[in-house]
Amino acid sequence: MNISIIGSGYVGLVSGTCFAELGNKVICADNDAKKIAQLKKGNLPIYEPGLEELIKGNLKKGRLRFSTNIKEAVVNSEVIFIAVGTPPLDNGEADLTGIENVARNIAKILPGYRLIVEKSTVPVETGERVKDTIETYVKRKVKFDVASNPEFLREGTAINDFMHPDRIVIGVESKKARDTLVSLYQPLNVPIVVTNIKSAELIKHASNAFLATKISFINAVSRVCDKVGANVEEVAKGMGLDKRIGRAFLDAGIGYGGSCFPKDLDAFVTISENVGYDFELLKVARNVNEEQKRFYIKKIKDALWVLKDKNIGILGLSFKPNTDDIRSAPSLDIVKFLLQEGVKIRAYDPQAMPKFKNEINQVTFCKNSYEAAKQADCLLIITEWNEFKEIDFKRLKKQMRCALIIDGRNIYAPEVMCKLGFKYISIGRPSCK
């Protein structure tokens, strides 16, 4: 099929590239000329494992093109995906200016029947708005369909998630739209859930809100574990083996971050409020998440007593491993707090240091974990990158002033750390003495 994706952010870029990989002819359009110029050369604005190779390969085969010209994209495509950003407004609502702009631009160009699909995460009823907007601004009477096809890929594992999803969700209003999207996704050979547009929009917000709540639930359980000396990992394992619960997203830690869960929870709370429902459950999940960061900071204070002039090493700055994304990363709040207290920070992250430096630069950025641990009174594990799991502990310990590790991601076994001579504090697991 001839497809275009308007918006070359995370979702747009990965989806467009994967559609091309599946054999479609894809135009990825974006109004950011600098970004498009870079992408044409195969240079990526983000770090995502495997994406660069896939983009380069599909550019070479002529299946993928980048453009700043939305007209070219709309004219040459049967299906147009809208994947522009929906950033949060101050009141928690999603800013839909980008979506509205694209809808208006598509309307002005529309040369004949097109299927216009929202892929960005949007509030329920946005599909209707998109349809109304196109009907209002369309130049001459042409038929078109609007559909919703939310994306469930995760950063860090985006290509695998796109190519092997648990399900595809499509919200449609016509047989033609349904048939087009079903045949587009047929090669993935996965269950396709066909609903109306509003249900599809809600499936996305409800899924992210549920996953965030699951994380907050296990973080709340970890607090009780800490009090009584139980082990949250064993609790999660025991719970997770129940098929109705499942083990995924039951890793206790320093709370969720990223560009999706915090923003989508806010948006879903506001959407519910706007239709007259107080979604208290989500407000509590949100509070537990904030509280989890404060709880981690308290662990640092309890262990170090006075923070002023202490040296703290930090391993991991991105909101999760395998990405350079630091949007709403717990590291931002933790570092800000430590700096206010007069702590000297040395930090290392395999990918996120340039982006972190743009936000906070009063940190010494190091070239590896051992450099970050130099003369440290304490080492913090903030992101569970694989390379931190494979660290040479003897070498690490030699660098440190005190062999103290406060692990916000539970990546090491307490007994092993104890044997190695570390004082090791983690989340919801007893420290060995």
Query: What amino acid positions are annotated as catalytic residues?
Result: 260
**Nearest residue (CB) to ligand UGA, 217 versus 424:** 217
From candidates 48, 118, 151, 324, binder to ligand UGA by CB under 6 A: 151
* Whole-angstrom distance, CA of residue 271 vs CA of residue 201: 12
What part of residues 246-285 is at the interface with ligand UGA (CB under 6 A)?
A: 249-251, 253, 256-258, 260-261
Q: Is 84 in the site for ligand UGA (CB under 6 A)?
A: no
Counting residues that bind ligand UGA (by CB under 6 A) gives 20
Please tell me what DSSP assigns to residue 314: E
Structure token pair of residue 431: 């420290």
**Nearest residue (CB) to ligand UGA, 172 versus 211:** 211
**Nearest residue (CB) to ligand UGA, 260 versus 366:** 260
Residue type, 111: P
- State the minimum distance, in angstroms, from the CB of residue 362 to ligand UGA: 24
* Whole-angstrom distance, CA of residue 239 vs CA of residue 29: 45
- State the minimum distance, in angstroms, from the CB of residue 40 to ligand UGA: 25
**Nearest residue (CB) to ligand UGA, 29 versus 211:** 211
Please tell me what DSSP assigns to residue 68: S
**Nearest residue (CB) to ligand UGA, 89 versus 109:** 89
Q: Is 155 in the site for ligand UGA (CB under 6 A)?
A: yes
- Contact stretch for ligand UGA (CB under 6 A) within 152-160, 163-171, 395-403, 418-426: 152-160
- Contact stretch for ligand UGA (CB under 6 A) within 73-81, 177-185, 244-252, 424-432: 244-252
CB 58 within 8 A of CB 20: yes
Structure token pair of residue 300: 């640092």
**Nearest residue (CB) to ligand UGA, 65 versus 263:** 263
What part of residues 209-228 is at the interface with ligand UGA (CB under 6 A)?
A: 211, 215
What part of residues 22-81 is at the interface with ligand UGA (CB under 6 A)?
A: none
- State the minimum distance, in angstroms, from the CB of residue 208 to ligand UGA: 5
CB 237 within 8 A of CB 303: no
> What dihedral do alpha carbons 140, 143, 149, 155 form, nearest 10°?
-30
- State the minimum distance, in angstroms, from the CB of residue 211 to ligand UGA: 6
CB 117 within 8 A of CB 78: no
Please tell me what DSSP assigns to residue 80: E
Angle (CA) 170-212-199 rounded to 5° is 25
- State the minimum distance, in angstroms, from the CB of residue 224 to ligand UGA: 17
How does DSSP assign 290-312, residue by residue?
HHHHHHHHHHHHHHHS--TT-EE
What part of residues 292-351 is at the interface with ligand UGA (CB under 6 A)?
A: 319-320
Nearest to 382 by CA among 421, 348, 351, 339: 348
- Contact stretch for ligand UGA (CB under 6 A) within 87-95, 243-251, 396-404, 423-431: 243-251
Distances (CA, A) of 158 to 14, 17, 124, 322: 7, 11, 24, 10
- State the minimum distance, in angstroms, from the CB of residue 84 to ligand UGA: 13
CB 12 within 8 A of CB 30: yes
Residue 274's φ and ψ, nearest 5 degrees, are -60, -25
* Helix, strand, coil tally for the chain in percent (to 5): 45, 15, 40
Nearest to 262 by CA among 282, 280, 278: 282
- State the minimum distance, in angstroms, from the CB of residue 6 to ligand UGA: 17
- The site map against ligand UGA for 176-215 (x = CB under 6 A) is --------------------------------x--x---x
Structure token pair of residue 323: 């990405």
- The site map against ligand UGA for 93-132 (x = CB under 6 A) is ----------------------------x-----------
379 - beta bridge partners? 313, 405
- State the minimum distance, in angstroms, from the CB of residue 367 to ligand UGA: 24
* Positions in the binding site for ligand UGA (CB under 6 A): 121, 151-155, 208, 211, 215, 249-251, 253, 256-258, 260-261, 319-320
